[in-house]
């Protein structure tokens, strides 16, 4: 089946305490977003990519990331919306007519592997809707407004969701249409699919597939790039 990626890179960098949006911060030899795009470039199952960025950054991203680093699979760079969900919705609006599988990924998760991308596409062909994630290992406490512990939650069936989140095109379009009609905003794409009654299957992700959002994440990212030799291809 023909798979197309939507990579959302619309962050402003406020949590990074940086004047530069986090997706453009350099790790190793290149911006974080470049590392992410290289992973999709290496995944044979991905035919093309739609890249969603802040509206004022389109020319910068085209010249200084896509063209500079030879990213060939990006066929469209479009302006994002007010929230992440709005940005994904805009990406969905410019999918190829023949796209069958949609792979949605955060632009600041640069350590996804080609193996992971290919596995999610294969499983989405089977199930219709899959997400990657990791089992929760920390103890969860419910805390009241005054800071007192209210109770301890059972973590046995709890997971932390990651991206990629991958869907048959007709499913994710229907989910976004419903959310738009009802004015519903979710914290990820899968919750929109859950709301229309479609089963979403959780796949084992990786603890290395971090989302770079805080200053504290950068040393780990540098370590990962150094360990991998800053290579352009995806490591197994």
Contacts of 49 (CB under 8 A, 6+ apart): 4, 5, 6, 7, 37, 40, 71, 73, 74, 75
| Residue 163 forms part of a structural domain | yes
Confidence at residue 17, expressed as pLDDT on a 0 to 100 scale: 59
45, 99 contact by CB (below 8 A): no
| Residue 231 forms part of a structural domain | no
| Residue 147 forms part of a structural domain | yes
90, 5 contact by CB (below 8 A): no
| Residue 236 forms part of a structural domain | no
| Residue 214 forms part of a structural domain | yes
Q: HSE (CB half, 13 Å, CA atoms) of 135? A: 6
pLDDT at 150 exceeding the cut of 80: yes
- Say what the alpha-carbon torsion angle 134, 217, 185, 103 is, to the nearest 10 degrees: -60
Q: pTM of the full predicted structure? A: 0.92
Domain of residue 25, CATH code: 3.90.550.10
46-87: per-residue pLDDT in tens?
A: 999 999 999 999 999 999 999 999 999 999 999 999 999 999
Least confident stretch, 1-15, 28-42, 52-66, 157-171 = 1-15
Name residue 34's beta-bridge partners.
Answer: none
| Residue 235 forms part of a structural domain | no
7-31: per-residue pLDDT in tens?
A: 999 866 555 556 788 999 999 989 9
The band of 177, judged by pLDDT with boundaries at 50, 70 and 90, is very high
Length of the chain: 236
Confidence at residue 84, expressed as pLDDT on a 0 to 100 scale: 96
Residue 128: which domain range? 3-226
120, 3 contact by CB (below 8 A): no
92, 1 contact by CB (below 8 A): no
Domain count of the chain? 1
| Residue 63 forms part of a structural domain | yes
| Residue 129 forms part of a structural domain | yes
- Say what the alpha-carbon torsion angle 38, 10, 89, 175 is, to the nearest 10 degrees: 80
104, 166 contact by CB (below 8 A): yes
């Amino acid at each position: 089946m023909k798979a197309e990626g939507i990579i959302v890179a619309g962050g402003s960098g406020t949590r990074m305490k940086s004047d530069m949006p986090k997706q453009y911060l350099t790790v190793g030899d290149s911006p974080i977003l470049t590392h992410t795009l290289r992973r999709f470039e290496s995944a044979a199952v991905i035919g093309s990519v739609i890249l969603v960025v802040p509206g004022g950054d389109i020319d910068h991203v085209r010249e200084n990331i896509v063209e500079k680093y030879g990213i060939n699979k990006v066929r469209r760079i479009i302006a994002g919306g007010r929230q992440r969900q709005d940005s994904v919705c805009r990406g969905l609006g410019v999918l190829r007519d023949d796209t069958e599988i949609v792979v949605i990924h955060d632009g600041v998760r640069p350590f996804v592997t080609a193996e992971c991308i290919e596995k999610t596409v294969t499983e989405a062909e089977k199930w219709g809707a899959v997400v990657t994630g990791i089992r929760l290992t920390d103890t969860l406490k419910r805390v009241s407004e005054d800071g007192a512990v209210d109770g301890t939650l059972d973590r046995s069936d709890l997971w932390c969701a990651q991206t990629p989140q991958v869907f048959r095109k007709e499913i994710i379009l229907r989910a976004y249409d419903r959310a738009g009609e009802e004015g519903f905003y979710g914290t990820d794409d899968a919750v929109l699919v859950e709301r229309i009654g479609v089963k979403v299957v959780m796949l084992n992700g990786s603890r290395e597939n971090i989302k770079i959002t805080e200053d504290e994440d950068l040393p780990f990212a540098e370590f990962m790039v150094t360990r991998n030799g800053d290579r352009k291809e995806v490591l197994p």
